[in-house]
Structure 1
C-alpha cells in the first residue's frame, strides 16, 4: 500500500498541513507513524484519494443533512411529497404543521394559548421601545416562554410537538391587540391566520388568505435559518432555543428582510413603475422580490399567493403595479416574482406595516424549524461541525 506524507496530503487536498490533522481528529483520515525515524505521520494514498473525491466537507460521522420533509425541484415545492399549492388550498396551517412534524394527515384543533403564557409574552414585549419591530417582539417572547417552561428539555417527539403548538398559539395571540383577541375568542374557529391577522392589518381579514401564506412559507428546505435551527438541535438545544437560533439567522438582511425591501420597491413602483425599476438598475441592484437562487421560471409560492390576491377587489391597485413591472421583465432571464414580492403585495393591499412580511415568515417558518429539529434530534449529537481549512 502506498503512503503519503503530511505535506503531500495537504497538496493533494489543497489545504494547510494543520487541516490534515484536523481531518484526522474528525475521522476523515487515519494517520500512522513513520517508520524511518523521521517526525510526522503517513496516510494511506487510497484513503486520501477517497477524501479528495468526495470533498473535505463530507464526514464519516454523517454530517451531511438529509431531510424527508421538503423537496424542491423543477420549480415545484413539496412537503412530504405533497404539492404545496394543493396543501395551501385544502389544509389549515395547523394540519400542515402536523404533517411536517409527524407525517400524519388530518384536521387539527386550534393551537392552545394559555392565558398566563399570553400575559407573560405581552408583559416582556411591552418593555420594548416603540421602535421595536414585530419580529423583535417575537424573539423576546420566545425567550421568555422558554424560561417559563420547566419541561423544555424534554426532546421526545410528542413533547416537542406540544411545545411547538403552544409556542405558536401564544405568539399569534400575544401579537394581536387585546380587543381583537377577545373578539376572536368569542367567534367560531380560531386558526393561526385568523389569530395573527389583527396584529398586521386594520382591514377585515379575507377568509383563508393568511392561512394560505402560512402554509406556503412553512418550510423551504435548508435555508440559512433552518440550518441554524438544525445546528442548535444537533447540540440538543430545546425547541425554544432552536427557534431563537433560527430567528437570529432570519434577522440578516439577506434573509428575513427581503420582503421589506420588496415592500419599499413596490411603494416606489406604485408612483412610477419604470422609474422605480430604472433607479435600482442604475445602482447595479437586482429588483427586490424578483428571481430566485433555486427556481428558474417561477416561484410556486408566489404563483399561489398572487393568484389569491387577484381574486380580491381590494388588491386590484397593487396587482396593477405588479403587472406594470412584470410587463417590462423577462421570465426567461430569471425575472419572475418570488415569495417576498407576493408578501409585499399582500402587505400593500391590506395596509400592513413594512415588517409584517418578516413576521408572517417567522411565524410560518417556525413550523419548519421545529420539524427539522425533530429530525435532527434523531441523529447523533454534535454531528454538524464543519471542517476548517
Structure 2
C-alpha cells in the first residue's frame, strides 16, 4: 500500500481517501497531522500512512461548519493540542489533569505539557549567572514592589542574560523554560530563613511565600496547586502570550506579555480577593455579613462560579480534598464552606480554584498576593507550551481587522483649540 492507495485495514483510510473525504490536497492532510487535528499510523511493511475513518469524518463535518472562505474567522481560531475543557473536567494532552496533578510533580506535569513525555523525578534548576542577574535586578526594586512586579523584572533580566534567546527551535524553547521558571522563583526574596534552593520547585517557592515551616502535606498541596494551574485553555494571559509568539517574540518576552495581563484584577488577582474575604469571615465569625457587604457594594462574591464549568471547578475539588487532610487548614476551609452555603440560598454558583487557593494561602501564613504568585509561576509552563504551538504557525496570523465605527472621511482638517493658543 502507498500513500495514494486504498487502506485495507478495517476502519482506516489511505491518504488519498482522507484527502477526498476532506476535499483537500494530500499535502493538506499531512498539515492537519502536524497541527494535531488528525492522527496517522503506518502499518507493518507499509510506506504510507492510514487514518481512522471516524476521526477524518469528524474533521470533515467541522470544516463544513467553519467554511474556509471565512478568512477572518480562521485567523482568530486557535487550534491547540494542549488542554481540553469538557463537562466539568479538563485534560492535558488527553489525560485527566486533576489525576495527573495529584500523582505527579509540577515539573513532571510541565514536561508532559511541553513534550508529551513523562519524566519521573525531573527538577528544574536555574543557572547561577542567570539567577544572580535576576536577583540583582529584583533587589533594586522599591521595597513595596509586589511579587508580580518582581517576576516581570526577573523575566526581563533573564532574557538579557541569555544571548541565545532568539533561538525559537523547540529544543531551545523548552530548555529556556526549564531554566526560566526556577529563575523566577529564585529571584523572589526568601521569607523562610532556613530555606535551601534545592529540591522540588514547590519547596523553593514555599520559602518565598511564608515563614512557616511546611510539612509534607502542605508541600504536596502547593505542588498540586501548581500542577492544577499549569494551563486552562485560552485564558486572557495565554492569548496575550500567543499574540506575542505569533510576532515571533522570544519566550521570555512572551512570558512577560502573560505576566502583564495576569496582573489585572479580573484574572490573577482573584485569589487575593478571596483570601481577604476568608480572613474577614474568620474575624467576624460568619460569612453572612461579609457576603452581604460584598453584594451591597455591587461586587461579585470572590471565589465563586466559573463560566467554563456548570458545576464545581474540578481544580477546586482536587485542592479542597488535599486541604481537608491538613488540620491547620480547618478554620479557613470552614469559612470557605460557609461562604458557599450562604450564597447558595440565592444562586447556584459553586466554588472555583481561587477560593481553594485562598484557603491554602490563608491557612499557611502566606500574604493575600501569594495566590497570584502561585498562579503566575504555575501558568508560565502553560504559556511556554502555547508559545511552542504558535511558533509552528504562520507568523503574525493573529492580526484581527478592526471594525471602524468613527466619523467617515473625508473630514476637514481640525482647527486649533483656543486652549492651545500661546499665552501673550
User: CA contact under 8 A between 1:232 and 1:245: conserved in structure 2?
Assistant: yes
Q: Which runs of structure 2 are paired with 1:280-359 in the superposition (5 Å)?
A: 280-330=294-344, 333-359=347-373
Q: Can you list the C-alpha shifts for 1:195-222, whole angstroms capped at 9, x where unaligned?
A: 1001001112223111100000000000
Q: What displacement does 1:57 show?
A: 4.2
Contact 2:316–2:352 (Cα < 8 Å) also in 1: yes
Distance in 2 (CA, whole Å) between partners of 1:56 and 1:366 is 31
1:140 pairs with 2:153: yes
Aligned length in residues: 334
Distance 1:354 1:183, change over 3 A: closer
Hey, what does 1:198 align to over in structure 2? 207
Deviation of the 1:183 alpha carbon: 4.3
Offset at residue 283 of structure 1 (A): 2.2
1:80 aligns with 2:105: no
Per the alignment, residue 69 of structure 1 pairs with 82
Q: Aligned in 2, Cα 1:302/1:179: closer, same or farther, shift over 3 Å? A: closer
Tell me the residue number matched to 1:58. 73
Task: Give the match's secondary structure for 1:149.
Answer: coil
- Could you tell me the TM-score, scaled by structure 2's length? 0.75
Partner of 1:242: 254
Q: Is the 8 A contact 1:85 1:300 kept in 2?
A: yes
Determine the structure 2 residue equivalent to 1:31. Answer: none
Q: 2:270 aligned with 1:255, yes or no? A: no
CA distance in 2, matches of 1:331, 1:51: 42
Q: Secondary structure of the equivalent of 1:326? A: helix
Alpha carbons 2:191, 2:208 under 8 Å: kept:
no
Deviations 1:124-164 (A, max 9, x none): 01111111001110000000110110000001111001101
SS at match of 1:58: helix
Contact 2:102 2:224 in 1 (8 A): yes
Residues 1:117 and 2:130 aligned together: yes
| Ranges in structure 2 where 5+ consecutive residues have no aligned partner | 1-64, 404-424
The CA distance in 1 between the partners of 2:112 and 2:188, in whole Å, is 25
1:54 & 1:275 partners in 2: Cα distance? Answer: 55
How far, CA to CA, are the matches of 2:102 and 2:241 in structure 1? 28
Residue of structure 2 equivalent to 1:221: 233
1:215-256 residue CA offsets vs partner (Å, 9 max, x unmatched): 000000000000000000001110000000111111111111
* Alignment-derived partner of residue 387 in structure 1: 401
Of residues 360, 375, 381 in structure 2, which corresponds to 1:361? 375
Correspondences of 1:142-181 after superposition (within 5 Å): 142-177=155-190, 180=193
Is 1:377 aligned to 2:386, yes or no? no
Give per-residue Cα distances to partners, 1:50-75, cap 9 Å, x unaligned. 9999878414xx44200010011201
| Structure 1 residue 335: Cα displacement | 1.4
**SS of structure 1 residue aligned to 2:165:** coil
Look up the SS of the partner of 1:292 in the other structure: coil
* Cα root mean square deviation, aligned: 2.1
Mapped to 1, the partners of 2:137 and 2:148 lie a distance apart of 14
List per-residue Cα deviations over 1:78-112 (Å, max 9, x = no partner). Answer: 10111111111111111111111111123142112
Q: Deviations over 1:161-206 (max 9, x none)?
A: 11011001112122252975x7425xxx611111100100111222
Secondary structure of the equivalent of 1:184? Answer: coil
1:297 and 1:331 in contact (8 A); partners too = no
The CA distance in 2 between the partners of 1:248 and 1:203, in whole Å, is 30
Distance 1:320 1:178 in 2: 27
Shift of 1:327: 2.2
> What is the TM-score normalised by the length of structure 1?
0.82
The higher-RCO structure (CA 8 Å, 6+ apart) is: 1
Contact 1:94 1:109 survives alignment (8 Å): yes
